[in-house]
Amino acid sequence: KAGVTQTPRYLIKTRGQQVTLSCSPISGHRSVSWYQQTPGQGLQFLFEYFSETQRNKGNFPGRFSGRQFSNSRSEMNVSTLELGDSALYLCASSLKMGGAYNEQFFGPGTRLTVL
Protein backbone atom coordinates (compact mmCIF):
# COMPACT_ATOMS: atom_id res chain seq x y z
CA LYS A 1 0.00 0.00 0.00
CA ALA A 2 1.48 3.34 -1.02
CA GLY A 3 2.14 5.84 1.75
CA VAL A 4 1.24 9.50 1.98
CA THR A 5 2.75 11.46 -0.88
CA GLN A 6 3.48 15.15 -0.97
CA THR A 7 4.50 17.38 -3.85
CA PRO A 8 6.71 19.18 -4.41
CA ARG A 9 9.39 17.95 -2.00
CA TYR A 10 11.37 21.19 -2.15
CA LEU A 11 10.33 24.71 -3.01
CA ILE A 12 12.07 28.07 -3.04
CA LYS A 13 9.97 31.24 -3.16
CA THR A 14 10.48 34.93 -2.47
CA ARG A 15 8.64 37.14 -0.03
CA GLY A 16 5.21 38.22 -1.21
CA GLN A 17 4.66 35.24 -3.48
CA GLN A 18 2.11 32.53 -2.89
CA VAL A 19 2.54 28.77 -2.84
CA THR A 20 0.35 25.68 -3.15
CA LEU A 21 1.36 22.35 -1.64
CA SER A 22 -0.29 19.04 -2.44
CA CYS A 23 -0.94 15.91 -0.39
CA SER A 24 -2.30 12.52 -1.47
CA PRO A 25 -3.37 10.39 1.50
CA ILE A 26 -3.09 6.65 1.82
CA SER A 27 -5.77 4.94 -0.23
CA GLY A 28 -8.96 4.66 1.81
CA HIS A 29 -7.95 7.34 4.30
CA ARG A 30 -10.46 10.16 4.48
CA SER A 31 -8.92 12.51 7.03
CA VAL A 32 -5.99 14.77 6.18
CA SER A 33 -4.17 17.04 8.61
CA TRP A 34 -1.44 19.58 7.91
CA TYR A 35 1.41 20.56 10.21
CA GLN A 36 4.23 23.09 10.07
CA GLN A 37 7.60 22.07 11.51
CA THR A 38 10.33 24.58 12.35
CA PRO A 39 13.41 24.24 14.58
CA GLY A 40 12.10 26.88 16.98
CA GLN A 41 8.42 25.94 17.26
CA GLY A 42 8.49 22.24 16.54
CA LEU A 43 5.44 20.62 14.95
CA GLN A 44 2.38 22.85 14.94
CA PHE A 45 -1.11 21.95 13.76
CA LEU A 46 -2.43 23.92 10.79
CA PHE A 47 -5.75 22.33 9.83
CA GLU A 48 -7.69 19.11 9.52
CA TYR A 49 -9.99 18.07 6.68
CA PHE A 50 -12.55 15.31 6.48
CA SER A 51 -15.13 14.77 3.75
CA GLU A 52 -14.04 17.94 1.95
CA THR A 53 -14.75 20.09 5.02
CA GLN A 54 -12.31 21.81 7.33
CA ARG A 55 -13.02 20.35 10.77
CA ASN A 56 -10.36 22.03 12.84
CA LYS A 57 -7.93 24.91 12.50
CA GLY A 58 -4.77 25.86 14.36
CA ASN A 59 -3.56 29.32 15.35
CA PHE A 60 -2.22 30.50 12.03
CA PRO A 61 -3.09 33.70 10.14
CA GLY A 62 -5.62 33.74 7.34
CA ARG A 63 -2.80 33.65 4.79
CA PHE A 64 -2.79 29.91 5.39
CA SER A 65 -5.69 28.09 3.78
CA GLY A 66 -6.48 24.66 2.48
CA ARG A 67 -9.04 22.45 0.87
CA GLN A 68 -9.85 18.80 0.34
CA PHE A 69 -11.19 17.20 -2.81
CA SER A 70 -13.72 14.41 -3.22
CA ASN A 71 -10.92 11.85 -3.65
CA SER A 72 -9.51 12.96 -0.23
CA ARG A 73 -6.48 14.64 -1.80
CA SER A 74 -5.71 17.93 -0.12
CA GLU A 75 -3.93 21.16 -0.93
CA MET A 76 -2.74 23.96 1.28
CA ASN A 77 -2.03 27.48 0.13
CA VAL A 78 0.07 30.19 1.70
CA SER A 79 -0.35 33.68 0.28
CA THR A 80 1.91 36.72 0.69
CA LEU A 81 4.82 34.62 1.88
CA GLU A 82 6.99 35.85 4.75
CA LEU A 83 10.51 34.79 5.72
CA GLY A 84 9.08 33.12 8.82
CA ASP A 85 7.03 30.76 6.66
CA SER A 86 10.19 28.84 5.81
CA ALA A 87 9.53 25.40 7.26
CA LEU A 88 8.85 21.76 6.60
CA TYR A 89 5.16 21.29 5.86
CA LEU A 90 3.90 17.85 6.76
CA CYS A 91 0.68 16.19 5.74
CA ALA A 92 -0.76 13.29 7.74
CA SER A 93 -3.62 11.00 6.83
CA SER A 94 -5.83 8.70 8.88
CA LEU A 95 -8.80 6.47 8.21
CA LYS A 96 -11.21 8.74 10.03
CA MET A 97 -11.26 11.70 12.35
CA GLY A 98 -10.40 11.18 15.99
CA GLY A 99 -11.44 7.95 17.65
CA ALA A 100 -9.34 5.42 19.48
CA TYR A 101 -6.33 3.84 17.83
CA ASN A 102 -6.75 6.06 14.80
CA GLU A 103 -3.11 6.85 14.11
CA GLN A 104 -1.92 9.46 11.67
CA PHE A 105 0.59 8.52 8.98
CA PHE A 106 2.89 11.30 7.85
CA GLY A 107 4.13 12.09 4.38
CA PRO A 108 7.76 13.04 3.65
CA GLY A 109 6.93 16.74 3.76
CA THR A 110 7.55 19.76 1.55
CA ARG A 111 10.57 21.86 2.48
CA LEU A 112 9.65 25.50 1.75
CA THR A 113 12.34 28.17 1.75
CA VAL A 114 11.30 31.81 1.52
CA LEU A 115 14.01 34.23 0.42
Binding site for other proteins (CB under 8 A): 4, 31, 33, 35, 42-45, 48, 55-56, 58, 90, 92, 94, 97-109
Q: Which is nearer to other proteins, 22 or 58 (CB)?
A: 58
Shortest distance, position 103 Cβ to other proteins, whole Å? 5
Minimum distance from residue 41 beta carbon to other proteins (Å): 8
Q: Which is nearer to other proteins, 37 or 79 (CB)?
A: 37
Smallest separation, CB 15 to other proteins (Å): 25
Long-range contacts of 14-18 (CB under 8 A, 24+ apart): 14/81, 14/114, 14/115, 15/81, 15/82, 15/83, 15/114, 15/115, 16/80, 16/81, 17/81, 18/77, 18/78, 18/79, 18/80, 18/81
